[in-house]
Structure 1
Amino acid sequence: MASEAFARWTARTEATLERLLPDPASEPSRLHAAMRHATLGGGKRMRPLLVYAAGVALGTDETLLDAPAAAVELVHAYSLVHDDLPAMDDDDLRRGQPTVHVAFDEATAILAGDALQTLAFAALSASDAPAQLRIDWVGTLAGASGVAGMCGGQALDIDATGRTQALQQLQHMHALKTGALIRAAVRMGALGGGADAGTLARLDVFASALGLAFQVRDDLLDIEASSAQLGKTAGKDVAQAKSTYPALLGMEGARAKLEELATAMRDVLAPLGERGAALVALGELAVKRSH
């Protein structure tokens, strides 16, 4: 069952992160503690699960996927640390605990984010995978992290604060800010499975729909859920006058968009049959999650 696989893959991710992250007892101990605070003991681990699900669907051994699964989570953790900074979203709560700049300080948070990102690429380069696969993983993750990915999306998000975006602009921004790393996670798993060009294209369509669904659901939860339920501050989008899918489409329109994306994900994965069951389940999780 998918739930059993998710529990196993989450445990593998936690163990790999625990091994990769520096010992908080060693110097610089404050930085090391901040890196662990940002990464361990929380989060849905959606991106590592996508790495495992895509790779295993194509017949890859799970052990090969440990490094890319951990690397994509390290990049995700870094992005959250920087996203929460006063110069960005200025948030005090993440994964049900104080954000890194609150628990430590702003300078340490910046350094922790920097260190987590570089640790991700160190983990990929040091893995036991064939050299060409490691190069492909590094390129995929770097592309998702830079100006054509998360950094570019965050810049667009900052520029859009306080003004209304057209739906196409909003979707482009989130395709970079949220979707790029999700697409990278799926692609890294598929590359580990030796996917051909056609399979990579099919999985990219799935991942693009998943990234958008994840954001639409996020926007709905920002309105419907409490801070305790979310583990982060609820109502931030409205408070910062950001364009969201409910704002542009209405609540029912946003829910209809989610259903449309859920159907698209199931349809594009259909040729994989039972091998794609874990990916289908992750798509459903993105659509139905409550936090």
Structure 2
Amino acid sequence: MGYRSGFIALIGRTNVGKSTLLNALLKEKVAITSPKPQTTRNTIRGILTTEDYQMIFVDTPGIHKPKSKLSEFMIETANRTLKDVDLILYMVEPDTSIGPGDRYILDNLKEVSTPVILVVNKIDLVSAERVEETIKLFKSEYDFKDVVTISASLGTNLEILKEKILSFLPEGPRYYLEDYITDQPEKIMVAEIIREKMLYFLEEEVPHGVYVEVESIREREDKEIVDIEAYIYCEKESHKGIIIGKNGQMLKKIGQAARQDLEEFYGKKVFLQLWVKVRKGWRDNEKLLRKLGYVIDK
């Protein structure tokens, strides 16, 4: 068998652990993670390259009920991805019932011919019996090509999962250079790192009403410091106050946490400047969404 390569979609309900799995498989951080749902907005490609294969993982937005044009884009993106890949990893939690989110995904899977592996995540949190019940339940709803049980956060059974994935990949070229781990532009990566910290620190509704636009990234002449300027846009004046916090403490906390990750990302010191502005109704502003790369042309 020659060199194998292919595209693998990660799908599932919001907060099921898709981004955590992507980062664990690559052993690099290419997707932001958060305990809050709807973390991923764009499809993020993570690239795992070895001498024998190249796996290109597409982390799709979680399926959820759309409440804005941004939400509609996220769901449309996830659905289109199912038809454009070589393999689908359908991630579920060890549940003993199928809710509306998973029902919606299962219905969509029945419309495509792409092979699907059921991946039961978070097996470290429940009994083996619960995991078996979950597998039995989902297999009664869909004819999966295979089933793998994992803990993405602990790294359990990830090698087994990679072996299963490889068995479905066709012979093909290296689509990306050997040292590529993602095809995300630098400004998008920086913006997502900043947004992740807002998801972590802020109240439930606030971070989903924000986006980050990186104004500039400049390396100083001595090559030892990277200067980054970025704007955080939110939908309401009240949210702006929450993001900034009393005496600017919340914004400082977000900035410090983002800077630590950015320094790891760049391998050098980072000077990060953040500003907060209000842009009402941006999640339904199709022109802006298109500029941010969120809207797919029909």
For normalisation by structure 2, the TM-score amounts to 0.27
Structure number, greater radius of gyration: 2
- Which structure has greater helix proportion? 1
Query: More strand per residue: 1 or 2?
Result: 2
